[in-house]
Structure 1
Amino acid sequence: MSRSPGRPQLLPEAAPAAAITRRDFLNGVALGLGGTASLSAAATPGSELPDPALRTGLQGQTDTVNAAAHAWRDRAGGVSEAPAERDDGVEDLLVVGAGLSGLCGAHLYAKHAGRPVRMLLLDALDDVGGHARRNEFIARNGQRLVGYGGSQSLDNPSLFSPAVQQVLQDIGVDWPRFNTQFFDHGWHERHGLNSRALVFDARTWGRSAVVLRQPGEAPASWLARTPLPPDAQRQLARLLAEPAADVLPRGMPPAARRDMLSRLTCRQFYQRHWRLGAQALRWLQADTEGYFGAGIDATSALDAWAAGLPGFSGLGLGASMDTRLSPSGRLLHQGQDPYVFHFPDGNGGVARALLRQLIPEAMPGSDMISLAEGRVQHAALDRPEAPVRLRLRATAVHLRHLGPPGEAQLVEVRYLDSHGQLRVARARQVLLACWHRVVARLTDELPATQVAALNDQVKVPLLYGTVLLNNWRAFHRAGISGLQPVDGFWREAALDFPVRMGSLGPPEHPDQPVLLHLSKVVLPAPQEPALPPREQAARGRALLTGWSFDELAQETTRLLQSGLGDFGFEAERDIEAITINRWAHGYAYEYMRPWDRCWPQGPLPCTTARRGWGRVAIANADAGAYAYAHGAMDQAARAVQELLPQARLPSWSKRPGPV
C-alpha cells in the first residue's frame, strides 16, 4: 500500500505587504493581509491593546509566552537558590494556573474554607481562562464580534457531576437557557445553509474541487464529482450507503466482537473488514481527531464505533451508543443533549463567570448576558489590597515546602513575573492546576514513580483560527455553513455558532460581518506501521511551533479562496482580520486502546500522577486524562477536597472519563 502524502507543505514565506499584487493575493502566494489596517496590525509582533481578547495575529501559547518556560526547562538547575524578590504576606492558597480548573479550584476553596481567605493565582498567559480564550474584533463598520479561540462548549451538561452542576449554579451559568433562549436553532435553515462543501486541494489530490452535496443525494452520485479514483469512490459509496452491513465473521457474540475491535485500530478495521484502499482511508483519516486527538490510525475501532463513524451499525455490538458513553467510559459529542451550550466566546464565558465570583471588580455585571458583552477589567486583577489576586504573564518555575512536606507549615513557589524577574510567594496551601509535565519539573519532592506518571501525560497540539469576514455572501450563494477540507491543512472552517446574547448575535443579512472558525489537530502524516499517539503528539508539536503566523494566515487565505472563490469570495476584499490561537499543549491525552495496556482495567498513570503531598494538591484536565471543560472542573473539586478534608463538597464525577 502506498503511503499517504498527508499534510501539504506550507508555501514559502510571504513577500512584504507593499510588494504583494492583487494576483499574488488571489493565487494564495500572499498572506491575505491585503493592506487593511486590522490585518496589518495583526501581523505586528508585540502590539499591545488594553484587552488581550482584541489582539489578532498569533495568540495563545505564543513564542513570547513559551520563552520563559522553555528557558527554565532547559536550565541546568540553580533556580531554587537564585536571588529573588519576595512577595509581601502569606497566601492561604496559591493557585498555579488560571484556566477553568484553577479558577474553579479557587472558587471552591473560598466557598468551603469556612473563613475569609487570601489567594493568589499565577498564570503564564496574557489573559484569564487558559485554553478557554476569547477572540474579539471590531469590524470596519464599527460592529463588535466575539468568538472563541480555544475551549468551545459545555458538552452534555445534563450529565455533569453534582460538583460541576453546583459550581455552575454558584457562578450564575444557567446552562438550560442556551437551548431555550440564547441559541438560534433556526438560523441555518432560515438562511438556507444546509450543508458544508467538501474542498479538495490540488497539492494533495492532483486537482482542486469543491463538492456540494444535495439533500438526499446518494453517496455514489456526489463521490463521482470528487478527485478520488474510481476504486476509492466505489469503496466509500458502499461504506456510506450500506453502513449497517455486517462485515465481521458470523457467529461471534457481541462481547467477542467488542474485544476484537478493541485490539484493532479504526484504520485496520476499515482495511481488513471493509477492504478500503489507501485513497479511501485518506478520506476518513481525520474523522476521529476531534473526539480523541488522534486519527483513525491511532484510535481503536471500538472507540470509533462509539464516536459514530460509519461501518459499525450492523455489527451487533450492543447498547453502548444508546447510553452515549463509549466502551472506554468517555462521553461523546452525540450525547443526550443538543450541542448548543456555548457562550459567544465558548467556555471563556464560564471562565469569566468564575472570575466574577472571585474578583467582582474585574468582571462587571451580574447576569449571563453581561458575561458575553462585558470586558475583563485587567487593572482590577492584581490589586495589593484585594483578598484574591490574579497575576498574568507569571510563570511558576519552582516549588518546595519550607521543611519536610509532612510537617511544613508553608510552601514556597518561585515564579518569573511579566518583566522576567524571579519572585517568591509563600502560601499555606498550593493548588497546581498546570500541566502534569510542568509539575514533574516544578519540584524535587516527588518520588520517581510519580514523576514518571506525570511525564506520561502528553498534550495534543491544536490550532484554532478565527477569521473576521466583512460579509458572508459566498456562503449564502453556495447554501453552505462551512468548508470541510479533505486531507487538507485545516480540518474545518465553519461559520460561528448562532448564539444571541444581548448585543451579540449572528448576522441576519449576508452583507453583514461574520466570524469564521477554523480548527486543526496537528499530527504528522500517517505512517505504516502507525506511530503511537504520544509520539504523534510530540511530532505534531514540532510542526506546530515551526510555523509562523504568516504561513498559517496564508493557509487560511488559500482555503477560503479555493473553497469560496466560485461563489464570489475575494480574500483581499472580504477578509478583515485573522487570529490564530496556537495551543502547542492542547488537549489532555486520553488513554487509547490498543496502545495503553493500562486501559481500562488500570492502574492508570493519572491516578498516581495526581496524588497530592504535604500542603499541595494537583488538579487540571491531565489529572483525569480527559479533555473536557467539566473534567477539568471535576478534578478541581477532587483536589480542593484533598486540601480541605473537613469540607463537604458535592461529589465529583468518576464517569465519564478514566478517573
Structure 2
Amino acid sequence: MRDGTLQEKNIKETDEVYDLVVVGGGLSGLAAAHFYRKYAGPDKTVLIIENHDDFGGHAKRNEFSVDGHRLVLNGGTLEMEAPERYNQWATMILSDISVNIDAYKKENLKTNHLYEQMGLRSGLFFNQEIWPHDYLMPKSKENAASQWRYISEEALKNAPLSEKARQDLVRIVSPTQPDYMTGQSAPEKKKSLATLSYKEYLLTIAKVDPTAVAIFQKTGAGIFCVGGDALPALFAWVMGYPGFSGLGLGDVPDGLLSDLQGGQHGRQKDSEETVHFPDGNATLARLLVSHLVPGATKARSQDDMGLAGFAYEKLDQPNQPVRIRLGTLALHVAHDGAPETAQTVSVLCAPAGEAAPAQISKVQGRQVVLACWNMIIPYMVPSLPAPQKEALAYGVKGPIAYVNVALKNWRAFKKLGVAEISCPGMFFEEVQLAEPMSLGGLKAPMDPEKPIVVRMIKTFGMPGLSKREQYRAGRSVLLGLTFEQFEKEIRSQLQRILGPGGFDATRDIAAITVNRWPHGYAYTYNSLYEPLDWVFTETSERPCVKARQPFGRIAIANSDAGASPHTDAAFEQAHRAVVELLERQTFPFVSAMPGGSTL
C-alpha cells in the first residue's frame, strides 16, 4: 500500500454486496454501524472489516486468571471523561446501548475510595539515575492547602534534593506565590504561555531548580504522549499543574473548551467526573457488539459485560444483518465508476499479517465509512484529491504502551502506603494499582493478600524534536522493543520501588501483558507548533476538517477526524460520517466531492 505496488490480480469475487461497509472495528466503526442501522433501518446489511483479532480498537480488554481469581483491566482506552459533557450523539449512543452511569456509580460507592480508606496515597519515585539515590516519597498525610498531589513541604523533607530545589517546589505549589510575569496583562500572559513549554516556563520564568523541574518532565504524557518540553504552559495551567497561582489569570471556568474538537482542555483537569469500567471502554465496545450481532453473546446488559463471553466464530455469519470480519486488512477502496455517479464501492481485502497474501478478495458496499487510522486512507483510496491526502497525512498518532502486570498479592503497596506512583525518570512513568471497580459478577480486588493487576504506562517522548517528530521517533523505539526487554524493565522497576515493602518480582509476578500502541492517541493540535486558531477555535482550516470531507460514497470517521483521542469524539465523527452518506442518498444534488454542494 505504501509503495503503490498492490497487484490487482488473483482477486476473488465474493459476490458480497452490503448496504454499508465499515473499515475499522473500533468504537467509531462500531458506532457508525449502529447509527446507520438506527437511521436507515435495522434491515440494512453492514460489514465491518477489522485487521486485528478483536473488536474495539483502542478500547481493548486484558484478562487474567490468578489463583482462581478472574482479573480484568483495560489494555487501551481507560475511561469516559466527564460523560455529562458528552455531545448529543455520544450521549445518544450510550443511551441506546443501555449504559447506566448512575447505577454503576452506586454499585461502586463503597469501594470507590478503598485505597484512601486503607491509607494508600499517591507517591513519587526518585531514581538514582537522575537524583542522588532511589527514594519513594509518599504524599503527606496532612491535607495542607500548600500541597499538589504528592508535593508538599512535609513530604519533601527527606527527598534527595538540594535545599533550593525543595524550596522551589514548595514555592510553586503555594497558593500565594509571586507573579513571575509582572508587567503583562492577563491576556498577554495567556498568549505567552500558549507559545512557551511548561518546562521552559518553570526553568526560565518561575526560576525553578533543574533537579526539581525534572519531576515534571513527563507532565501531560499520559494524555498527549509527550512530556513537559512539548506541553504548552497554558495547557499546564488549565490542567491544574503548579506554578501559576500568582499570575492573576483567574479561575479556569468549569468545562472551559472541553467540547472543542482537539481534546486539549477542560476534561484533562483532575476530576471526580470520569467514569471507567474495570476493562475501561472495552465495556462500551462489547455492549455495541451485543446489539449489532446479538447471536455472538447471550450478554445484553451493562452488568453482563463484566463476565460476558463472546463466540467470535458467530461474528461473521452469512444471512445476519451485521457481520464483523476480524483479521482482515482493507487494502484498496475505489468507486465502481466515477465518484459522482457510482452506485457501489469495491473494497479489496486480504488476511492481516500476510506480507504477500496469496488471495485478495473483493466485497462491495453501496456506501463506505472509513473509521480506521486516517493516515492510511491516502494509500487505501489513491483516487482522493491531493489536498485531502495531504490533510489526512498530517495527524501523526502518539505511541504509548499500556503494560498490565498480574500480582499474586499487593502487600508491598499496603506496607509502603501507596496506590499509584509517578516515576518521571524511569522506563515506565506510571505504576498504578487497578482501580477497585466492580461490574456485575466481576468483583473488584479488595484484599492485599489476594491477586490484583498493576497498570504500568510508558510514553516515548523525544525532547528536542517537534511533537509530530517525537511521535515518529518514539514509534520506532516502541516497535524495536522485544517482550523480553519489556519484561526485564518491568521486573527491575517494580523490584526497586516495591522491594522495601517485601516485594519479590520472581515470586510475586504471575503474568504480564504488553499492549503496544505504535499508532495510539489521535493527534491533537499544539500551540507550540501549530497556529493558535487550530488549537483554540473550530476553524475549517484545521487539517482534520479538510481530511474528513466526504468523497462520493465514501465518508471518513475515527477520532482522528476530530483531532481528539476521546471516546465521545469517536462517536461524534461516526455520526457525522453516516449522516453525510445518508444526506447524499436522500438528496442526490448534495455534492459527492470535497468542496460543497452542486447548487
TM-score by structure 2 length? 0.91
Specify which of 5, 19, 29 is matched with residue 92 of structure 1. Answer: 19
Which of residues 571, 592, 606 is equivalent to 2:526?
A: 592
Which segment is superposed worse, 506-515 or 155-164? Answer: 506-515
CA distance in 1, matches of 2:175, 2:52: 48
* Counterpart contact for 2:125–2:497, Cα < 8 Å: yes
User: In structure 2, the residue corresponding to 1:406 is in which secondary structure?
Assistant: coil
Distance in 1 separating the partners of 2:243 and 2:229 = 16
Q: Which position in structure 1 is the counterpart of 2:87?
A: 161
Alignment partners' CA distance in 2, 1:335 and 1:285:
18
Of 460, 480, 495, 2:398 maps to 460
**1:235 paired residue among 136, 154, 168:** 168
Q: 2:335 matched to which residue of 1?
A: 401
Matches of 1:475 and 1:452, distance apart in 2: 49
Whether contact under 8 Å (1:264, 1:594) holds in the other structure is yes
Q: Which position in structure 1 is the counterpart of 2:591? A: none
Amino acid at match of 1:137: F
Residue type matched to 2:276 in 1?
Answer: H
Where in structure 2 are the equivalents of 1:104-123 lying within 5 Å? 104-114=31-41, 116-123=43-50
Name the CA shift for 1:168/1:452 in 2 (closer, same or farther; >3 Å). Answer: same
Paired AA for residue 6 in structure 2: G
**Contact kept in structure 2, 1:352 and 1:363, CA below 8 Å:** no
When residues 163 and 290 of structure 1 are mapped into structure 2, their CA distance, relative to the original with a 3 A threshold, is same
Relative distance call for 1:469 and 1:647 in structure 2 (3 A) is farther
Secondary structure of 1:497's aligned partner: coil
Q: 2:159 aligns with which of 226, 237, 249?
A: 226
Question: Partner of 2:438: helix, strand, or coil?
Answer: coil
Deviation at 1:594, TM superposition (A): 2.3
- 2:6 aligns to what SS in structure 1? coil
**Secondary structure of the residue that 1:104 maps to in structure 2?**
helix
In structure 2, what is the Cα distance between the partners aligned to 1:540 and 1:336? 27
The partner residue of 2:241 within 303, 306, 309 is 309
Alignment of 1:198 onto 2:93: no
The Cα of 1:487 is off from its aligned counterpart by 1.6
Distance in structure 1 (CA, Å) of the matches to 2:196 and 2:474? 23
Match of 2:468 in 1: 534
What are the superposed Cα offsets for residues 231-287 of structure 1, whole Å, 9 maximum, x if unpaired? 33332222123564321114x332222122112121222122211243222111111
Q: Distance in 2 between matches of 1:161 and 1:436?
A: 22
Structure 2 partner of 1:656: none
- The unaligned stretches of length 5 or more in structure 1 are 1-71, 649-659
Q: How do residues 549-564 of structure 1 correspond to structure 2 at under 5 angstroms?
A: 549-564=483-498
**Cross-structure match for 1:77:** 5
Q: Distance in 2 between matches of 1:563 and 1:126?
A: 35
Paired residue for 1:392, among 298, 314, 326?
Answer: 326
SS of residue in 2 equivalent to 1:341: coil
Contact 2:348 2:360 in 1 (8 A): yes
- Measured in 2, the distance between the counterparts of 1:426 and 1:329 equals 35
Deviations 1:430-475 (A, max 9, x none): 0000111111211121111111100001000000011111111111
Contact 1:353 1:371 in 2 (8 A): yes
Q: Which residue is 1:178 aligned to?
A: 104
1:569 aligns with 2:503: yes
Q: Do the aligned residues in 1 keep the contact of 2:404 with 2:456 (CA within 8 Å)?
A: yes
CA distance in 2, matches of 1:118, 1:253: 59
Distance 1:426 1:433, change over 3 A: same
Q: Structure 2 unaligned runs (5+)?
A: 587-599
Aligned residue number for residue 419 of structure 2: 481
SS of equivalent to 1:371: helix
Question: Does structure 1 residue 633 correspond to structure 2 residue 567?
Answer: no
CA contact (8 A) 2:277 2:437 kept: yes
Q: 1:483 to 1:594 in 2, by over 3 A?
A: closer
Which position in structure 2 is the counterpart of 1:502? Answer: 440
How much does 1:396 deviate?
1.0
Task: Tell me which amino acid in the other structure corresponds to 2:406.
Answer: L
Q: Are the counterparts in 2 of residues 461 and 583 from structure 1 also a CA contact under 8 Å? A: yes
Measured on the aligned residues, the alpha-carbon RMSD in Å equals 2.1
CA–CA distance in structure 2, aligned partners of residues 255 and 200 of structure 1: 37
1:364 is aligned, of 293, 298, 313, to 298
Q: Residue 149 of structure 1: which of 75, 86, 98 is its match?
A: 75
Q: How far 1:108 sits from its partner (Å)?
A: 0.4
Which deviates the most, 596-605 or 442-451? 596-605
**Structure 1 position 486, deviation (Å):** 2.8
Q: Is 1:299 aligned with 2:225?
A: no
d(CA) in 1 for partners of 2:434, 2:186? 40
Q: 1:429 aligned to 367, 371, 376, which one? A: 367
Out of 571, 578, 585, which is 2:512 matched to?
A: 578
| Bigger mean CA offset, 413-422 vs 129-138 | 413-422
Secondary structure at the aligned position of 1:397 is classed as: strand
Q: Secondary structure at the residue paired with 1:413?
A: strand
Distance 1:605 1:190 in 2: 47
Aligned-pair identity in percent equals 36
Tell me if the contact between 1:112 and 1:647 (Cα under 8 Å) persists in the aligned partners. Answer: no
Letter aligned with residue 289 of structure 2: L
Distance 1:310 1:321, change over 3 A: farther
Q: Is the 8 A contact 1:470 1:576 kept in 2?
A: yes
Alpha-carbon distance, 1:222 to partner = 3.0
Q: TM-score, normalised by structure 1?
A: 0.83
- Match in the other structure for 1:6: none
